[in-house]
């Protein structure tokens, strides 16, 4: 399949999964368990939506691998792996805050963002109906509208920055310290609670910079593909692939300056 065909498949499955997630939200949320901390929750809907996506892909692409937040990684024989976050922004979802997403990406390689090549992705916000799509070499769209911000210039003091925080209280305090140092250099911050939507938000023009430490591969797989296709520069620390150490997506005119400030302010821990 071409990257555009893979994108269309990711879109179709993500839209169906988003409808299921929204239906379960309207019925009421049941917390299934906590994960890394009491604040890090998983709902019954997370598991149901991931099971739905996994079953659809097993039917349509049985030779592909699968890497989901709730079910772990399974290798395939095709060389492609689907990377899925069934409900990104679970705390928002549990509280009824309309900023959560279904994220579906397909990559070439195994389930490691440092070695895979992103091919196509879809990020769908069930509450707003926003559908972000991107395919390698084919560009990015939001509800059919082309996204491209690669040639936009914004001075750092006028840049709006998005970030996210750890479920660990100790880690959050460290992250807040970095934000405090950066706050005086930029227009303002936004903390919206869903990494995939933060990642594509730079492409959409909602923000100019997004960075976060501690993300998982499924948090940023689709968003990175989409943002890059929209002309956003997305990397990790010192030119590495985006990953747990850092995901930084920014307008190209801002990237180096923000990257260097984050290092100066201690992002490497």
Catalytic site residue from 90, 131, 163, 215: 90
Active site residue 198: no
Active site residue 212: no
Active site residue 219: yes
Active site residue 263: no
> Please, which residues bridge with residue 209 across strands?
161, 250
Catalytic site residue from 85, 198, 208, 212: 85
Compute CA 180 distance to the chain's CA centroid, rounded to the nearest angstrom.
Answer: 24
Catalytic site residue from 64, 219, 229, 235: 219
260 a known binding residue? no
β-pairing verdict for 80-88 and 101-108: antiparallel
Catalytic site residue from 64, 88, 208, 212: 88
CA of 113: how far to CAs of 12, 71, 243, in Å?
24, 18, 6
Three-point CA angle 4, 6, 11, nearest 5° = 95
41 a known binding residue? no
Catalytic site residue from 69, 70, 212, 229: 69
Q: Are 205 and 149 in contact (CB under 8 A)?
A: yes
Catalytic site residue from 46, 50, 64, 87: 87
Give first-to-last CA distance, the chain, whole Å.
42
Rounded Cα gap, residues 250 and 230, in angstroms:
11
Structure tokens at 70: 């709730």
198 a known binding residue? no
16 a known binding residue? no
69 a known binding residue? yes
Which residue has 């995901």 as its token pair?
Answer: 247
Q: Tell me which residues are annotated as active site.
A: 69, 85, 87-88, 90, 219
- Binding site members: 69, 85, 87-88, 219
Binding-site residue numbers for Mg(2+) are 69, 85, 87-88, 219
């Amino acid at each position: 399949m071409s990257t555009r065909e893979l994108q269309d498949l990711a879109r179709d499955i993500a839209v169906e999964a988003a409808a299921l997630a929204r239906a379960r939200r309207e019925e009421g949320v049941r917390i299934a368990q906590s994960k890394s901390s009491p604040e890090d929750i998983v709902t019954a809907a997370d598991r149901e939506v991931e099971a739905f996506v996994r079953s659809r892909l097993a039917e349509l692409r049985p030779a592909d691998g699968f890497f989901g937040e709730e079910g772990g990684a399974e290798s395939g024989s095709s060389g492609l792996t689907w990377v899925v976050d069934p409900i990104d922004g679970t705390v928002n979802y549990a509280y009824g805050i309309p900023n959560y997403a279904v994220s579906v990406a397909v990559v070439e390689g195994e389930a490691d963002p440092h070695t895979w090549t992103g091919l196509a992705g879809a990020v769908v916000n069930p509450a707003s109906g926003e559908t972000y799509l991107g395919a390698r070499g084919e560009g990015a769209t939001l509800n059919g509208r082309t996204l491209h911000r690669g040639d936009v210039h914004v001075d750092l003091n006028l840049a709006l920055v998005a970030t996210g925080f750890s479920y660990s209280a100790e880690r959050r305090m460290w992250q807040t310290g970095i934000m405090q140092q950066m706050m005086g250099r930029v227009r303002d911050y936004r903390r919206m609670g869903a990494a995939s939507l933060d990642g594509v938000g730079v492409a959409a023009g909602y923000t100019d910079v997004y960075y976060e430490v501690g993300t998982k591969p499924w948090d940023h797989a689709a968003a990175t593909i989409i943002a890059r296709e929209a002309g956003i520069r997305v990397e990790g620390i010192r030119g590495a692939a985006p990953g747990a150490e850092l995901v930084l997506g920014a307008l190209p005119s801002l990237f180096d300056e923000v990257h260097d400030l984050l290092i100066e302010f201690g992002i490497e821990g």
